[in-house]
Amino acid sequence: MSITTNHVKEKSVLELTVNNHPGVMSHVCGLFSRRAFNVEGILCMPIGDGQRSRIWLLVNEDERLENMVKQLDKLEDVLEICRHGADHQIFSQLEEYFRV
Amino acid sequence: MQFSGAEIIVKLLERQGITQISGIPGGANLPLYDALKLSSIKHILARHEQGAGFIAQGMARASGRTSVCFATSGPGATNLLTAIADARLDSVPMVAITGQVPLPMIGTDAFQEIDTYGLTLPITKHNYLTRSVEELLRVIPAAFRVAASGRPGPVVVDVPKDVQLRKMEVTKWPEPGGTDESPEPDPDAIDQMIQIINEAKRPMFYIGGGIINAGAAQTIRRIAEKASIPTTSTLMGLGAVPSNHPLFLGMLGMHAARYTNMALDECDLLIAAGVRFDDRATGKVAQFCSHARIIHIDIDPSELGKIKMPFVGVEGDVAKALAAAESRIEKVDRSAWLNRICELKAAYPLVMPGLDDPLSPYGLVLEAAAAAEQDAIITTDVGQHQMWVAQSFPFAYPRQLLTSGGLGTMGFGMPAAIGAALAYPNRQIICFSGDGSLLMNIQELATAAEERTNIKVIVMNNNHLGLVRQQQELFYGSRFSASRFHAEPDFPAIARGFGIEAVDLGQADDPKKALKHAIEQRGPCLINVPIPAEDKVFPMVPPGAANRDMIGGENHVDND
């Protein structure tokens, strides 16, 4: 998570509620990877009774992000999307686990 | 009663209304084929899984209904990939059911194991790896719902062999997968759209495959007529408005008539309906309709603003959106604009040399059209012949043309023609192909013969990869690298070898008569037509250039 370059890009945090099965991560990550769109951070845990999971993504603000969110919304296994600003604390709380 | 997974799948397919399935059996889908043997569903045995995929596509594209194909694991699934990707890019509803190695063997590099789920992930609308017999009752109807709802597309269901064999008690069958009701278009966006259309002085319709999928062809035509809106179409939208309609300007983009691209350059409003601003249609995007406001109507929200930001974006079923707007779109006097279109059309028409010669591309297409029945379905392969057909065939209604638009898959045409013939056994199917394309799935001539399909395969034979050659001539200093075939296969002899009638127009005393006779006789027939390798598709917008920068196809009559 540490930013070493001087060029600091604006970041966005996406919160997805998804069905919990082995292929969902591939579906979500595949959308980004095949557009050469780097996902900076990923967190995923089951929620409730485990039928569903929540995926948190930390991504760069890019002109393509708007379309990425629409593409995510089209995935059968993505049930809900919430877009947060970079100030969301989910990833910053984890920074101590990512010190080099 | 106890049913195996395979029996459940077949039962659910029957309940879904599926009557024909194309495919090839193999080790990992043998239980499925065992269950199919006792079913009322007819199976069409293809000779290569890609052929099976395109046969299924032919059925779906011709009818608009979701079709099904089967393949086994490993090479069966990998062979199917091209047909699945093709269906994805052209929004064709198809359910592909693949066999997989038994669950305990997944991940062991077992014989004929491949990660079908992983491979099909980026080329399907959705895909499933079923891990229990119970979930088949949910997944099969869901696959059909996903394939046909919203923007249609292919769905893969990968079923491990042990899931096919495992039995379970079924007391009640689930409802067949239906089609989700599309969301109502936003009334404010509709209001805005109407206002802008009514204000426009030089509006144009830019329509595509979405119009055909939505069944909005009649509505577009009525609105165009009422409000005097000239209409251009993508390759996928051809047939939505009849080619001979006075307001129809043909296909736009890379191989459009000069006047069509010029008219687009002058319009002040572009109504983009059921289209996705594909690069073959837009040319250099920044300079596409640069003087126009854009209204974009599409059922897929991710298409709005993907390539070009619309002034008004209408998310929803294009048929619903247009129907909601129709009565409030005013009859406006646009005679100045229509006169300008007429001027452009007269000065920069589509130039089609050799119209009276059935051994030249345009002449052949029009001669075949004249010989064809009114309700004949046309399929094409990919290349020069495809563009000549798109430019000149008098398409008259939706779903008359089946062609691989987005993926541009050589080898599509003949198996798709077989699929169309299976969906409509009483109609004539004419497949325009090239010698390069046809060889990419020539094995399906065996399927065509076996099923006695009424397909006519017209091979425009220049013994080259013609469109590659054309680009090498125009853009690579005539350095013809690997575009010429040095062996010259005898296509009529090949067809006869498969048990199919054949004729060579190059050897016929009266080519017109021979062509007419070949098209009119029932059953499969191959028609070989030698054409000069130098013939080119004109005009042509160089890849990456703006649509106004066209090469060739000048109206020489006006020059000098």
CATH fold of B187-347 reads Rossmann fold (3.40.50)
Task: Tell me whether A46 touches chain B (CB under 8 Å).
Answer: no
State ipTM: 0.90
**A8 domain-assigned:** no
Q: Which amino acid would we find at residue B351?
A: V
Q: Which pTM does this prediction carry?
A: 0.96
CB < 8 Å to B302, chain A: 67, 70-71, 73-74
Interface of B with A in 291-310 (CB under 8 A): 300-302, 305-306
Structure letter (DSSP) for residue B357? -
Task: Tell me whether A33 touches chain B (CB under 8 Å).
Answer: no
**DSSP class per residue in B229-278:** --EEE-GGGTTSS-TT-TTEEEE-STT--HHHHHHHHH-SEEEEES----
CATH fold of B2-169 reads Rossmann fold (3.40.50)
Cα separation, B431 vs B457, whole angstroms: 5
How many Cβ pairs closer than 8 A exist between chain A and B?
Answer: 27
**A11 domain-assigned:** no
Q: Which residues pair with B551 in a beta bridge?
A: B540
CATH fold of B361-530 reads Rossmann fold (3.40.50)
User: Where exactly does CATH 3.40.50.1220 map onto chain B?
Assistant: 187-347
Indicate the number of domains in chain A.
Answer: 1
The three-state secondary structure class of B413 is helix
**A69 domain-assigned:** yes
CB < 8 Å to A27, chain B: 121
**A9 domain-assigned:** no
Q: Which helix (H) or strand (E) holds B180?
A: none
Give the CATH number for residue A69.
3.30.70.260
Per-residue b or e along B248-271, where b marks 16 or more CB atoms closer than 10 Å to that residue's CB: bbbbbbbbbbbbbbbbbbbbbbbb
**A62 domain-assigned:** yes
**A49 domain-assigned:** yes
Structure letter (DSSP) for residue B287? G
CB < 8 Å to A30, chain B: 121-122
Cα separation, B62 vs A15, whole angstroms: 41
Encode chain B (560 residues) as per-residue pLDDT tens digits.
Answer: 999 999 999 999 999 999 999 999 999 999 999 999 999 999 999 999 999 999 999 999 999 999 999 999 999 999 999 999 999 999 999 999 999 999 999 999 999 999 999 999 999 999 999 999 999 999 999 999 999 999 999 999 999 999 999 999 999 999 999 999 988 999 999 999 999 999 999 999 999 999 999 999 999 999 999 999 999 999 999 999 999 999 999 999 999 999 999 999 999 999 999 999 999 999 999 999 999 999 999 999 999 999 999 999 999 999 999 999 999 999 999 999 999 999 999 999 999 999 999 999 999 999 999 999 999 999 999 999 999 999 999 999 999 999 999 999 999 999 999 999 999 999 999 999 999 999 999 999 999 999 999 999 999 999 999 999 999 999 999 999 999 999 999 999 999 999 999 999 999 999 999 999 999 999 999 999 999 999 999 999 999 999 999 999 998 654 43
Chain B residue with minimal CA distance to A71?
B302
CB contact under 8 A, A23 and B300: no
**A76 domain-assigned:** yes
User: Where exactly does CATH 3.40.50.970 map onto chain B?
Assistant: 2-169, 361-530
3-state helix/strand/coil string of B29-88: HHHHHHHHHCCCCEEEECCCHHHHHHHHHHHHHHHCCCEEEEECCCHHHHHHHHHHHHHH
Comparing CB atoms, the residue among A23, A66, A76 nearest residue B117 is A23
**A12 domain-assigned:** no
**Whether the Cβ atoms of residue B8 and residue B138 lie closer than 8 Å to each other:** no
Question: What range does the domain containing A24 cover?
Answer: 18-98
CB contact under 8 A, B302 and A70: yes
Comparing CB atoms, the residue among B121, B300, B306 nearest residue A26 is B121
Q: Which amino acid would we find at residue B514?
A: A
